[in-house]
A and B are shown apart, each in its own frame.
Chain A
């Protein structure tokens, strides 16, 4: 359970961006990979707490979940991976050689009130 500290980091980052643009932020858009080790619901619950009393108070956190995509060396192709227990190519069954997507924890965009 480390979502609160992550929410605090997001709020801090958004505050910096808001100050640099002298704007008020209405929403923070976040990319969250399924392998990031961060639980969406817990992060959403922590966000309001983290934003309270800051320039971000009242803003929303919008989370876009990123599925796991791996590279299959045998098929030489990108493959979606279901779940976190079977890192196998869904087409040929051989082990996925590299994780391409799914570890993201990235502030993608800010929604600013003009």
Chain B
């Protein structure tokens, strides 16, 4: 009995990809720009988001979902901006997935919104495999983490759209070599956009706000 080969050529879609695709279609239909943030714990995702929400809040409808293993601390912090914020407590799960986003949005997402931010669990490994239906994925790294972080965690940089170097007000104290860090980022993801910011002092936020303002237009263009 000789085996017979039949050609199939079918892409294996992960269940998460299917859910993410549905989410993306829904976001596009309602005109919301969705931005996710990933980084290691302590890189300053929440501080960055705090300032972002506060600066956007007067002019735009903004909301945020924040993921953590435990506590509502981040949601409480972010709510002070006046934005609509919901905490996703993952228990022991090390990342957010598309189903968690869908579940969190159930009966919560208002009709009129310009921006939805999703702060992932602090982790540079697992979130890289999970599409959340976002339009833009930011990977943050702070000046105290070492210039070679992109080389150590290439996959997350490779799946992200923009690299944000945070805490640049501490660059000198940390002896941070920005040119080297940017070279490493470009090496793992050629052509990646890079922002340098201080969430505390506000440096770099003009450029970030301009990038956000042009986002809906970019998403609408084919």
Contacts and interface: CB of A to CB of B under 8 A. Distances in A.
Interface in B24-42: none
A113 B188 contact: no
6 contacts: A13-B10, A29-B5, A105-B14, A110-B6, A113-B1, A114-B2
B155 A84 contact: yes
A114 B4 contact: yes
Interface in B169-205: 186-191
Interface residues of A, number: 33
B5 A84 contact: no
B158 A106 contact: no
Given A37-B129, A85-B151, A114-B1, A13 B7 contact: no
A90 to B, nearest CB: 13
A103 B97 CA distance: 20
Tell me the interface secondary structure of chain A in the complex.
Answer: mixed
Q: Is the interface of B mostly helix, strand, loop or mixed?
A: mixed
A112 B188 contact: no
Nearest to B14: A6
B97 to A, nearest CB: 9
Contact of B12 (A1, A9, A111): A9
Contact of B10 (A86, A95, A106): A106
Interface of A: 1-2, 5-6, 9-10, 13, 17, 21, 26-27, 29-30, 35, 37, 84-88, 95-97, 105-114
B59 interface: no
> Lowest 9 CB-CB distances: which A-B pairs, in order?
A95-B190, A84-B154, A37-B129, A111-B3, A105-B12, A112-B4, A107-B10, A107-B8, A85-B154
A105 B3 contact: no
Interface string B120-146: 000000101110000000000000000
Contact of B188 (A5, A26, A85, A107): A85
